[in-house]
Amino acid sequence: MALTRQEMDRKLDQHFGFEARDDVEGVLATLAPDAEHDIVGWPSGPARGRAGARPFYETLFADLSDGKVECLRRLYGEDFLVDESLWQGKAPGRPFGLEGKGRPLEFRLLHVIEFTGDGDIQRENVWVDLASIIRQLPQG
Predicted pLDDT of residue 109 = 97
Predicted pLDDT of residue 95 = 94
Burial of 116 (0-12, 13-18, 19+ CB in 10 A): middle
Bridging pattern class, strands 47-48 and 103-115: unpaired
Predicted pLDDT of residue 71 = 96
C-alpha–C-alpha distance, residues 113 and 125, integer Å: 6
Please report, for the chain, the start and end positions of each structural domain, with discontinuous segments joined by +: 5-136
Question: What residues of the chain score a pLDDT lower than 70?
Answer: none
Predicted pLDDT of residue 2 = 86
The answer regarding whether domain 5-136 maps to CATH 3.10.450.50 reads yes
